[in-house]
């Protein structure tokens, strides 16, 4: 489907998927609890290992808590993420470098205004005392459902897990019990920008038939 064929106001699942950009610039306007409830319900509909439903979703609206966490979120950007991004930035002027600068500007905006997002949903799991692939496999389908639900409701959101660079400090601020671990934070609010088509590599570069020598033909 071409970009022109996508209706940004459509409620069709496939159009919602194609236009669910990471929205890093969010208005501080309050979001009704009823909409957050619908997003949470979408999360609980996701598949999970053995139907154990060990996911837990912490909704954070307290400005003091968000500001305290934002301190570590920014530290993680300054100390970990930005040096890595700078090291992999295109070296020559051109469209790729321009796109890199645009992406970094959006990331820096989220970093500086992370605490101003009216609502966070912290995706956690019970009995997650290690970096278990099984635990993450159960959490992230729920996260994807919530991101899609937010998009369907006209709300901006993005998946970020940068806080794990200071996981112990952040989880203490969030008041997580000892047997819980956080995997992602979803800042949610009304977007400043517009939804639009995502830009991804064509299918025949990333999908194959029977073996990796035969591209999937569209």
What CATH number should be reported for the domain holding residue 69? 3.40.109.10
- Per cent of the chain over pLDDT 70 is 93
**Judgement on whether residues 154 and 207 belong to the same structural domain of the protein:** no
CA distance 131 to 156: 28
Q: Judge whether residue 100 has pLDDT over 70.
A: yes
Q: Both tokens of residue 60?
A: 């954070």
Confidence of residue 199 (pLDDT cuts 50, 70, 90): confident
44-70: average pLDDT? 94
Q: 108 and 180 in one domain? A: yes
Residue 6: which pLDDT band, with cuts at 50, 70 and 90?
low
Task: State residue 3's pLDDT score.
Answer: 46
Question: H or E stretch including 57?
Answer: strand 55-60
Lowest mean pLDDT across 52-66, 70-84, 120-134 = 120-134
- 142 within 8 A of 46, measured Cβ to Cβ: yes
Do 52 and 140 belong together in one domain? Answer: yes
Predicted local distance difference test score (pLDDT) of residue 134:
63
Same-domain check for residues 191 and 207: no
Question: Does the pLDDT at position 35 exceed 60?
Answer: yes
Place of tokens 């500001």: 67
102 lies in the same domain as 202:
no
pLDDT category of residue 2 using cuts at 50, 70 and 90: very low
Domain range for 176 is 20-195
pLDDT of residue 4: 47
Q: Note whether 117 and 189 are within 8 A (CB).
A: yes
Cβ pair 123, 142 in contact under 8 A: yes
């Amino acid at each position: 489907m071409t970009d022109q064929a996508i209706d940004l106001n459509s409620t069709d699942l496939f159009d919602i998927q194609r236009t669910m950009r990471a929205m890093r610039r969010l208005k501080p306007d309050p979001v009704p609890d009823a909409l957050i409830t619908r997003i949470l319900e979408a999360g609980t509909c996701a598949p999970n290992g053995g139907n154990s439903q060990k996911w837990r979703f912490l909704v954070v609206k307290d400005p003091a808590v968000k500001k305290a966490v934002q301190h570590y979120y920014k530290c993680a950007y300054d100390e970990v993420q930005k040096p890595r991004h700078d090291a992999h930035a295109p070296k020559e002027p051109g469209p790729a470098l321009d796109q890199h600068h645009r992406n970094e500007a959006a990331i820096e905006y989220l970093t500086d205004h992370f605490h101003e997002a009216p609502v966070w949903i912290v995706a956690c799991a019970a009995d997650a005392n290690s970096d278990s692939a099984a635990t993450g496999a159960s959490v992230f389908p729920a996260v994807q459902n919530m991101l899609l639900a937010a998009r369907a409701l006209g709300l901006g959101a993005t998946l970020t897990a940068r806080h794990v660079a200071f996981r112990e400090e952040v989880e203490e601020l969030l008041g997580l019990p000892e047997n819980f671990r956080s995997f992602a934070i979803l800042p949610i609010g009304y977007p400043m920008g517009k939804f639009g088509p995502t830009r991804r590599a064509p299918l025949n570069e990333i999908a194959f038939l029977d073996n990796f020598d035969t591209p999937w033909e569209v």
